Chains A and B, each alone.
Chain A
Amino acid sequence: MSSSYLQMNVVEFCQCTKLPQAWLIEIVEEGILEPGGADPEQWLFDMQAVAVARRALRLRQDLELEWAGIALALQLLDQLEQLREENRQLRSRLSRFEAEEQD
């Protein structure tokens, strides 16, 4: 899901997320963020990316993880979130089909 109608360049993105630029490059290399564009001068980030970067930063500080571990954690958390959402939707659909239990 992207919100391409509002984007930031590298400078603004680093300011906004308080992420040192060297770390940003590491994060992109690890595939945690995919800003598009060949080199950092052309990178553009959307609002989703701000949330991802902040989350990655918190995980690094608080759980003392390496970027590779963070990338894996974020991917699994994303999958978990998708499954939870799918589960919620299926339950909602099921509830429309199931009648009240009878004695």
Chain B
Amino acid sequence: MEFKDYYKVLGVEPGADDAAIKTAYRKLARKYHPDVSKEKDAEQQFKEVAEAYEVLKTAEKRAEYDELRQYAQQGRPFEPPPGWQPQSQGGFEGNFGQSGQDFSEFFESIFGNASHAHRGHAHGRSHGRRGQDVEMEFPLLLEETLQEQAKQVALQIPQYSADGQPLPVLNKTLNVKIPAGTGDGERIRLKGQGVPGIGGAPNGDLYLIIRLVPHPLFDVEAHNLILTVPLAPWEAALGCKVTVPTLSGKINLTIPANTQSGQRLRIKSKGLINKLGGQGDLYALFRIVIPAQADAATRELWTQLADKAAFDPRSEWSKSR
């Protein structure tokens, strides 16, 4: 086990006063808190910072740590001195909701096991401990949001024995109904399907967090969908009929003559549905594409067009000068 230099973690001098430690912690917590941060490894970084602060913020724990720090030698594995007993117990109560709850092996070797202390406390009050909730992302295709879906969810749930020891994970397969119109980021709660409770306490819940899978063809804009439709220059100029995909089968679309690149055509009620029974629209967004290569005959036709069409695509530029 490696000795953790909590002062280094917080970026303060070993002689730093409480105010400096608090400032350093708050600054790092804002940077790495998993609810706030998009930094790489934010969660792990925050755990380190929270653990360092847990020790250095209380005079008692800090004094114990400082004492051990004298024994620790750079680059050598760390072992607590024989007969070491943590003095500052009972510092773990009221820590509900904290993200950095599971402390390192190093921390536990010095100060004991926070979660065990907590469990022991709960037993003393002669009731068990409710199982933890589990969150899991669940991918959903855009097509699957149009109707209620019966899905199977396979997951592994950790379990603990009455004295808090980990048991082999529980493999579960659940049948879940996902309502029509479910959107990205929505949560579905499966009551009692989280971590089993201890000592007769209720199980935790399972939350499925819906993630809409990006579609290869359609872009999402609120409840509307956008389909980019490539057109040949002559199709855009003359108008044409094109078969286009929607989430629920193909439809024929009439492209009017003189359609511009970037122009949109609304196809009513072919978008995503909402829970109130309404449905968004599908927009066809046109993009004019030119053949990558042209043979001599085609080039000749383009040349004729260039000669005959009196068209200045950059007329806007001369106006603005």
With A62-B50, A63-B26, A63-B33 in contact, do A97 and B287 touch (Cβ < 8 Å)? yes
B311 at the interface (CB under 8 A from A): no
Q: Is the CB of A48 within 8 A of B187?
A: yes
A51 at the interface (CB under 8 A from B): yes
B91 an interface residue at 8 Å Cβ cutoff?
Answer: no
Q: How many A-B residue pairs have CB under 8 A?
A: 80
B186/A3 in contact, CB under 8 A: yes
A52 to chain B, nearest CB (A): 11
Q: A6 near B: Cβ within 8 Å? A: yes
Interface residues of B in 78-104 (CB under 8 A from A): 95-100
Give the contacts of A1-54 with B (CB-CB under 8 A). 1, 3-6, 15-16, 18-19, 47-48, 50-51, 54
Task: Using A73-B36, A89-B219 as known contacts, say yes or no to A5 and B30 having CB atoms under 8 A apart.
Answer: no
Question: What CA separation (Å) do A47 and B50 show in the bound complex?
Answer: 28
Task: Give the distance in Å from the alpha carbon of A15 to the alpha carbon of B228 in the complex.
Answer: 48
What would 12 A/B residue contacts be, using CB atoms closer than 8 Å? Answer: A3-B187, A4-B275, A6-B189, A15-B130, A61-B95, A62-B50, A62-B100, A63-B33, A64-B26, A77-B35, A93-B226, A93-B285
Q: Report whether over half of chain B's contact residues are helix, strand or loop; otherwise say mixed.
A: loop
Given contacts A3-B187, A62-B50, A73-B36, contact A96 B287 (CB under 8 A): yes
Bound complex: CA A102 to CA B65 (Å) = 62
Number of interface residues of A (CB under 8 A): 31
Q: B residues near A, CB below 8 A? A: 26, 29-30, 33, 35-36, 46, 50, 95-100, 130, 133, 179, 182-189, 205, 207, 214, 219-221, 226, 228, 262, 275, 285, 287
Residues of A within 8 A of B95 (CB): 61
Q: For B202, give the chain A residue with the smallest CB separation.
A: A15
Q: Which residue of chain A is the closest to B215 with respect to CB atoms?
A: A92
Which B residues touch A60, using CB under 8 A? 97
- Report Cα–Cα, A103/B226, bound state, in Å: 31
Closest-CB distance, A60 to chain B (whole angstroms):
7
Residues in B neighbouring A16, C-beta threshold 8 A:
133, 205
Contact of A47 with B219 at beta-carbon distance under 8 Å, contacts A16-B133, A58-B99, A59-B33 already known? no
- CB atoms of A62 and B287 under 8 A apart: no
In the complex, what's the smallest C-beta–C-beta distance from A91 to chain B, in angstroms?
A: 10
B residues less than 8 Å from A61 (CB atoms): 95-99
